Amino acid sequence: MATDEIIHNLANIGEHTSCRNFKIETGSGFKYMEIRKGESFQTKSTTENYIFFILEGEWSITCNEFAAKDFKNGEMILIPKTASLKVSILTDSKILVFKFDTISSGCDRFALQSYEEYCANVRYNFNPTPIRKPLDTFLDQMVYYLNNGMDCVHLHEIKEKELFLLLRKFYQPDELADFFHPIIGKSLDFRQFVMRNYENVKSVEELVKLSMYGRSSFFSKFKREFGMSVKEWMLNQKSKQVLLKLSDPDVTVKSVMDEFEFDSYEQFNRFCKKHYHNTPSALLKVLKRKQ
């Protein structure tokens, strides 16, 4: 499976056109894929949230600041929206992917928001969560349905609700707080608004105007939700994308500066020292040694 086909499959989960009830670019859905050893794919910013259920095989995943972490069959991991992502397939693999933008069920949204109180005790490190009974049976059934052409929108809606019900019933709140940590917040609607729109605006002021909140109200709400100012958060998001790009084997300092519109080496040097505690050249050497 070619790299561009993998990315297309991830981005267009459940895309069919022969039936009005088949999924065509909706916000959620399941996709089964078989990928050969040696394939890889990456994106500067994921457009949705993804849960990777690795059924067979081993993967190496770089996601934001977490570099080249290994995952294997029987494990699941959440990839949050707008993540800088790079995946290398280490062995022939079978995977079920669940893609979602917002959680459709009010009950599930409330449950996810309630895990925020557990996050204070969680040191998030992008670790996998085990797939255990009865979730494994659910995944096998979903693969069987998809392989036999059942891709109706109603099936995806029902199975999304069943998935979140199984997670709430058979996993502890602290496990779910760790698993969903990147997308948990005090106000999911506000968080989702920010994640959906911040890359499409040219300035913080434009994002404030789009939100329909007053300026001071927006900044106050943002600080409560993300724990930092809007400017700091935007720079952190940019730092994740820059780090992913720097990890490319053939990249140069100049090409990264050009892509992310740094005006001078001095500006880029200050940026790297602040976010990575290293100069651009030294950081490149460190990242290449890890490859």
pLDDT in tens, 16-42: 333 343 343 445 799 999 999 999 988
DSSP for 230-278 reads HHHHHHHHHHHHHHHHHTSTT--HHHHHHHTT-S-HHHHHHHHHHHHSS
Domain topology for 3-182: Jelly Rolls (2.60.120)
- Residues 188-200: what's their mean pLDDT? 83
Domain ranges of the chain: 3-182, 188-290
User: In this model, does residue 13 exceed pLDDT 80?
Assistant: no
**Predicted confidence (pLDDT) per residue in 124-154, tens digit:** 999 999 999 999 999 999 999 999 988 888 8
Distance in angstroms (rounded) separating the CA atoms of residues 266 and 253:
12
The pLDDT of residue 187 is above 90:
no
* DSSP class of 152: B
Give all strands of the β-sheet with 66-72 in edge-to-edge order.
Answer: 40-43, 85-89, 58-63, 66-72
Compute CA distances 231 → 145, 236, 267, whole Å.
Answer: 45, 9, 17
Residue 138: which of 25, 34, 15, 55 has the closest Cα? 55
Using CA atoms, how far apart are residues 251 and 170, in angstroms rounded to an integer?
44
Q: What is 188-290's CATH number?
A: 1.10.10.60
Instruction: Name the band, by pLDDT with cuts 50, 70 and 90, for residue 15.
Output: very low
pTM for this structure? 0.73
pLDDT tens digit string along 66-98?
A: 888 999 999 999 999 888 899 999 999 999 999
Domains 3-182 and 188-290 share a fold: no
- Mean pLDDT computed over every residue of the chain: 85
- Enumerate residues 6+ apart whose C-beta is below 8 A from 254: none
Question: What is the mean pLDDT of the segment spanning 190-214?
Answer: 87
